[in-house]
Amino acid sequence: MTDQFTTLHRLLDGHSVDSERLRTVYGFGGLHGGILSAMLLGRMRRAVDASFRPVELTTQFIAPTREMPSVHVSVLRRGRRNAQVTATATAPDGSIVATADAVFTACADAPITHRLSPGPPSGVTPIESASPIVIDPQFMPLATAFEIRPATSTLPYTGGEDAELCAWIRLTGPAPEPQSRLLILADALAPSYAATLTVLAPIPTVRMAVHFAPTTQSIDDEWVLLRARTPHADDDGWLSESLDLWTPDGVHLASSTQLRIVRPTAPVA
């Protein structure tokens, strides 16, 4: 296991790492948002019955963090069928960097007679025919932990008409438990709105909600197909993004919504 994946697994197991190791799992400007969400989920899981599975996690990203945060967990409701838990990540200086809310449920039959889930897009390039793209790790250190292969011809920052991206994606090292893996992968692709741009612009996530399908528990396929779309973008920079993830054979794993903001680029001196 590489130092990067050792660090990743230590964080998800609830251990601290030093600042040098933490830098290996930076996204853009700080600790990767998907990893921070997975850290919070891991801490919340330990506060509920081990047989419960997470249904949904919502993370509010307050500020980027370049230091190891501490995590405080509070159980709001602990029932026989459901549990609701909150978590707060705090930087060493006492400032809050993220909060999260999670709903957990017992694995039990429910009165659902017709299961509904989004189907995968048609006409995508098969994994074996898709070419990988390389992201400079100096730009995003965690990029070396992913293999990304675009599944359509649309790429970020190509000035397209549609704010949509679709790609095959996987981790290049040992995967964590299923929900943590999906949280990390759901935040690994460039923002779909970037497909309409021609100039690099920061588009950070302010809120990320991920709803996990029950099948997530038993699926361990290496690759996932991720489709991201931006159906709503305001002229003040705020946009809503929706994402779905599937196995290679079309089993739906999770849906996510992200609230993002397009930041102005810094003027060139």
Give the 3-state DSSP-derived string for 15-60, with helices as H, strands as E and coil as C.
CCCCHHHHHHHECCCCECHHHHHHHHHHHHHCCCCCCCEEEEEEEE
Q: Quick check: is 268 in a domain?
A: no
* Per-residue pLDDT at 219: 63
Q: Is residue 117 part of a domain?
A: no
pLDDT digits (tens, 9 = 90+) for 77-108: 999 999 999 999 999 999 999 999 999 999 76
What pTM did the predictor assign?
Answer: 0.94
Q: What is the CA radius of gyration of the chain?
A: 18
In a domain, 40, yes or no: yes
In three-state form (DSSP H/G/I as H, E/B as E, the rest C), the secondary structure along 174-209 is CCCCHHHHHHHHHCCCCCHHHHHCCCCCCCCEEEEE
Low-confidence ranges of the chain (pLDDT < 70): 108-114, 217-221, 266-269
Rounded to 10°, the helix 3-12/33-45 angle is: 40
Instruction: Evaluate whether residue 269 is within a structural domain.
Output: no
The pLDDT, as a whole number, for residue 244 is 98
Q: Is residue 209 included in any domain, yes or no? A: yes
DSSP annotation of 139 reads: T
Q: Is residue 119 part of a domain?
A: no
Count CA atoms within 13 Å of residue 49 on its CB side. 15
Q: How far apart are CA 186 and CA 208, in angstroms?
A: 9
Strand segments, DSSP code E, in 106-237 are 146-150, 164-171, 205-212, 224-233
User: What pLDDT shows up at residue 65?
Assistant: 95
Q: What is the pLDDT of residues 250-262, one digit of tens each?
A: 999 999 999 999 9
CATH classification at residue 133: 2.40.160.210
Structural domain span for residue 102: 3-108+126-261
The pLDDT score that the predictor gives to residue 6 is 96
Which pLDDT score is estimated for 269? 46
14: in domain: yes
Instruction: Indicate whether 196 belongs to any domain.
Output: yes
Report which of 231, 234, 229, 226 is spatially closest to residue 254, judged by C-alpha positions. 226
Q: Structurally, how many domains does the chain consist of?
A: 1
Cα–Cα distance, 103 to 118 (Å, whole number): 21
Residue-wise pLDDT tens digits, 168-177: 999 999 999 9
